[in-house]
Amino acid sequence: MGAKKKTTSRATGRKKVAEPKGMSASTPSDEMSLHDEEAIEFDDVLSDDRRVAAEEAYDEAINDDDDFEVKAEKYRRRMLALSREAAEERDADMRTRVVKATPLHDAEEAQEQMQLLGQQHTTEELRDRIQETVRVLSKFKEEREEERTRAEYMELLRSDVMELYEYNEFLTDAILLLFPPAEAVEFFEAMEKPRPTTIRVNTLKAKRRDLVQTLVKRGMNVEPLEKWSKVGLQVFESNVPIAGTIEYLAGHYMLQSAVSFLPVMALAPQEKERILDMAAAPGGKTTYIAQLMKNTGVLFANDVSEPRTKSLNANLQRLGVMNAVVTNYDGAGYDKVMRNFDRVLLDAPCTGSGIISRDKSIKTSKHYEDVQRASQQQRSLLLSAIDAVKVGGYVVYSTCSFLVEENEAVVEFAVRRRHVEIVEMGLPFGRPGLTKYRHHRFHEKMQCSRRFFPHVHNMDGFFVCKLKKLSSDRTDVHDAKEEVERTENGLSRRGKSGEKMASKRQRDGNTHAVARTPAKASRLSVPPPKGRSGKASPR
């Protein structure tokens, strides 16, 4: 028997052992190669462990007793599997490099690379890139890539948070304008989590200590709210429906968010006063006012929506409120119906941007036009509330929105048109209202108002401001110098390049407006309403 002939493997470069009988050395080498469109050059992509696997696959095929066709097919399938594994590993590595590199590249370029790979960003990838972008922005001079501007990094952050948290452009820009980048991300994260469940003890019928003991026996894990509230309880878990206990049905407590206690606390109702709750339904704040009044005086509970007054009446009866009169008027004209109230609470209808954790649809359903309509309505309601209160009386204005256009801008509008002043509320916590917002300036006493945020106070986004009426003077008629001029409202994050975004939004049919006066400091606001005919939409 002659010497055994040796050949070399095309796949591995390893010398082959002698072929068994039936496998000719003259067999075309391409019979053992991969006749497949997905075939790749193994020497370039296979890792060391896969090279060993390829050699073992070849040896197994050579020494197998099967026919040549079977041997070739086994080998082909094994090599194809190895090549696919290598390709997937290579693509995964490329995606990782793309994600790590994108903070230093244009967002559009990164997106194009992901599209070429046919991949979408994962949640982890987006979070990592957002954190990296925030890190660079926090130490921009030291960490930024050369020739990259802050605007480019902000645009990357903007696109990533929109994709991760699923907000529309308008609300994304509003949040990024309101907070520094790192805090904005904290705000987005906090809005994804539910707020604590809280109830308010109705002291007209029960005492907090006794109610806690009773509810614990019912299967609720409850504890007193923080020191700022003497009537609040936080529910950690419950084996029974919170709104289904005998105590709830008997009116011993009200299921109510903690942040909604604050406007009533700011109003500070007193016994035997004449008070108006201008937008009262479903009655959480109204019943709290009656509770603090100890069922004395007269409490007018108004709501523009007749169907909603049914739930208002039901809660008043359940909680044992005896001093309330329910009315059904448009709040914007309430001062034409009744006046001389000691105090007025206006928890105004709004976009609800502060309660996204309860209603995720707000992320994409609210646009600038909605804010403009809400702001005009809020101005009419606030002027009516001021006109309805007596001189020396108080008006508390609140919204469940974090947008400046619905808060400071509305109060500023009222302060310029009625003889009122912003006063302290006595609330033990909360961030001061804004006196500066980009290039806009508000009254210096706006810092007496309070803002509440989910990432800071673990509450819904909220705004509360208290006004004291100094006289009945008003300035409804504007002279020529006070006429407002419609222009870009400044919600762009691009600073000095806001004009470019304004022109873009005009092309897109999404124009914004800001009221400007000839004063040195411009004031953020949308044009004042032409009249008071618009009805308030219930919250």
What domains appear along the chain, each with residue ranges and CATH number?
121-191 (no CATH), 197-255 (3.30.70.1170), 258-508 (3.40.50.150)
Q: Are 334 and 388 in contact (CB under 8 A)?
A: yes
At 70-98, the pLDDT tens digits run: 767 777 777 777 777 776 666 555 555 44
Asked if the bond preceding 282 is cis, omega within 30° of 0, the reply is yes
Q: Which position among 350, 400, 448, 465 bears the catalytic label?
A: 400
Residue 337: the pLDDT is: 95
Q: What is the token pair recorded at 59?
A: 């040896």
Residue 128 in marked binding region: no
Burial profile 378-417: b = 16 or more Cβ within 10 angstroms, e = fewer: bbbbbbbbbbbbeeebbbbbbbbbbbbbbbbbbbbbbbbb
Beta bridge partners of 198: 234
Q: pTM to 2 decimals?
A: 0.71
* C-alpha span between 286 and 189 (Å, rounded): 32
Rounded-to-integer distance, Cα 508 and Cα 495, Å: 20
Q: Is 2 annotated as a binding residue?
A: no
193 belongs to an annotated ligand binding site? no
Residue 461 token pair: 């986004």
Q: Please indicate if the annotation marks 284 as binding a ligand.
A: yes
- Contact present, 417 and 469 (Cβ < 8 Å): no
Q: Reply yes or no on whether 350 is catalytic.
A: no
Q: Helix/strand/coil (H, E, C) string of 163-190?
A: HHHCCCHHHHHHHHHHCCHHHHHHHHHH
Is 333 part of any known ligand binding site?
no
- Establish whether 281 is an annotated binding residue: yes
Would the annotation count 65 as a binding residue? no
Residue 4: both structure tokens together: 């055994």
pLDDT in tens, 5-17: 444 444 444 444 4
Those residues with Cβ within 8 angstroms of residue 92's Cβ, 6 or more apart along the chain or in another chain: none
Q: CA–CA distance from 3 to each of 18, 28, 165, 487 (Å)?
A: 10, 21, 71, 94
Bridge partners, residue 326, by sequence: 301
Residues of the chain with pLDDT under 50: 1-45, 97-101, 103, 118, 477-539
Q: Is 303 annotated as a binding residue?
A: yes
How far apart (Å, rounded) are the C-alpha atoms in residues 116 and 312?
A: 57
